[in-house]
Amino acid sequence: MNGSAALLKCTGIRKAFPKPDGGELLVLEGMDLEIHEGEIIGLLGRSGSGKSTLLRLIAGLAEPSAGELSYLGQPIYGPAPGIAMVFQSFALFPWLTVYENVALGLEAQRMPKAEIRKRSLAAIDLIGLDGFESAYPRELSGGMRQRVGFARALVVHPNILLMDEPFSALDVLTAETLRTDFLDLWSEGRMPIKGVVLVTHNIEEAVLMCDRILVFGSNPGRILSEIKVALPQPRNRLDPSFRDQVERIYVEMTARPTGSAAVGRQERFPGLGIGSVLPPVSSNAQAGLIEAVAAPPFNGKADLPEIASDLQMEIDELFPVAETLQMMRFAELEGGDLKITDDGLAFAHADQDERKRIFRRHLLAYVPLAAHIRRVLDERTSHSARKTRFIDELEDFMGEEDAEHTLRAVVHWGRYAEAFAYDDGNEVFSLENPS
């Protein structure tokens, strides 16, 4: 496997998008990666870390701002014939049958009709859609539709199959069946492909399917680490060595950033200044996680993978809540564990009024934007201030959208804490509580 020439090579990839205000949004920086024959590579990261953007660059659907991409030693300019993609949602044509949807991929290639027919039927067969050739997408379940998505990508006999969260829109059981079927076909060498790039935000899925996992960090998207998964296939989620791998990745993904690569991230999180982007995590979600971890069997300290499976939360849901608790000093994140602080425990055991008091104290102490709003309201004789006053300030640090989201988060927290009130109709903050 290793030592063979790279199927695909990315060097120094950078991607930035222009922003309406003339600046640029840096999405990917310093990306280096290689894909070798016989490998399934996972791109694992939280939403917004640039995974889909990288996949689109590899697919030739977009161009990097800097850096080089090559496929079998040739630079990639535009879609390469040997690279095919499976998307998260089943982008099927509703007016075409399963067979016609699959055959479509070949019709652009000016192939003899008989050959198109042979290959399409083979792909349909391979992926378990035999008997459904003349069905329309609306007649199929989500899992079957995604199988059509796979067949449509495989029918062109690509060297590299790119998959962008292909299982994430399916229910748990259907997703697992499809993963297992895919892995069986792959292990038996029955698919006409040489390498796979799988984008996912699901840690277990990455450990289940991939030979190598590239863990993405955000802001800007970059590779934090590369993890080889040497477990033999088929893998068992309950196997201790499988659990170890999952645990290790949780640790990687929650480690405090250090060094220069972390600067961008620190600025946004965990909330060092007024210019920090605040996550849309409700006070309820915070209380829920504090309660869950404070209670038995965790008793104040829990392993993130365990909470995730206990509460059935995906990392995109769990991490923002855990990080908010950390920012509010209700919990500490360390080595893949979430440990509730003394104040967090006090919160868990308090009644509603006491909870609000504790929350207010932490909000004003650890969220500078909340303290700032409160100070402005205290100092003004009217004890009120327009929303735009704060939006303008925030926009010195972040984009329009982030400023809106950040203000929305702080409004929600301020209301719960009864630290200030906000009139949504007039867009005015005030000290008076209307209730």
Residues that bind Mg ion (CB under 5 A): 52
State in angstroms the smallest separation of the CB of 169 from Mg ion. Answer: 12
C-beta of residue 356 within 8 angstroms of C-beta of residue 416: yes
CB-nearer residue toward ligand ADP: 49 or 341: 49
CB-nearer residue toward ligand ADP: 30 or 288: 30
Q: Cα(172)–Cα(177) distance, rounded to whole angstroms?
A: 9
Contacts to ligand ADP from residues 47-106, by CB under 6 A: 47-53
Contacts to ligand ADP from residues 20-39, by CB under 6 A: 25, 27
**Token pair of 8, please?**
């695909």
**Beta bridge partner(s), residue 148:** none
Interacting partner of 194 out of ligand ADP, Mg ion, none (Cβ under 5 to 8 A depending on kind): none
**Which of 6, 31, 4 has its CA nearest to residue 16?**
31
C-beta of residue 60 within 8 angstroms of C-beta of residue 220: no
Interacting residue with ligand ADP among 9, 33, 45, 212 (CB under 6 A): 45
Give long-range contacts, CB 8 A cutoff, 24+ apart: 427-432: 427/386, 427/387, 427/388, 428/384, 428/385, 428/386, 428/387, 429/373, 429/376, 429/377, 429/384, 429/385, 429/386, 429/387, 429/390, 430/377, 430/383, 430/384, 430/385, 431/377, 431/378, 431/383, 431/384, 432/383
CB-nearer residue toward Mg ion: 52 or 218: 52
Classify residue 172 by its DSSP letter. H
Interacting partner of 25 out of Mg ion, ligand ADP, none (Cβ under 5 to 8 A depending on kind): ligand ADP
State in angstroms the smallest separation of the CB of 312 from Mg ion. Answer: 21
Interacting partner of 49 out of Mg ion, ligand ADP, none (Cβ under 5 to 8 A depending on kind): ligand ADP
CB-nearer residue toward ligand ADP: 49 or 276: 49
Largest CA-CA distance found in the chain, in angstroms, rounded: 83
Interacting partner of 283 out of ligand ADP, Mg ion, none (Cβ under 5 to 8 A depending on kind): none
Q: Does the bond joining 270 to the residue before it have cis omega, within 30 degrees of 0?
A: yes
State in angstroms the smallest separation of the CB of 214 from ligand ADP. Answer: 12
State in angstroms the smallest separation of the CB of 226 from ligand ADP. Answer: 17
State the number of binding residues for ligand ADP (CB under 6 A).
11
State in angstroms the smallest separation of the CB of 177 from ligand ADP. Answer: 24
Residue with tokens 């600046």: 23
C-beta of residue 324 within 8 angstroms of C-beta of residue 333: no
Interacting partner of 50 out of ligand ADP, Mg ion, none (Cβ under 5 to 8 A depending on kind): ligand ADP
Give residues in contact with ligand ADP (CB under 6 A). 17, 25, 27, 45, 47-53
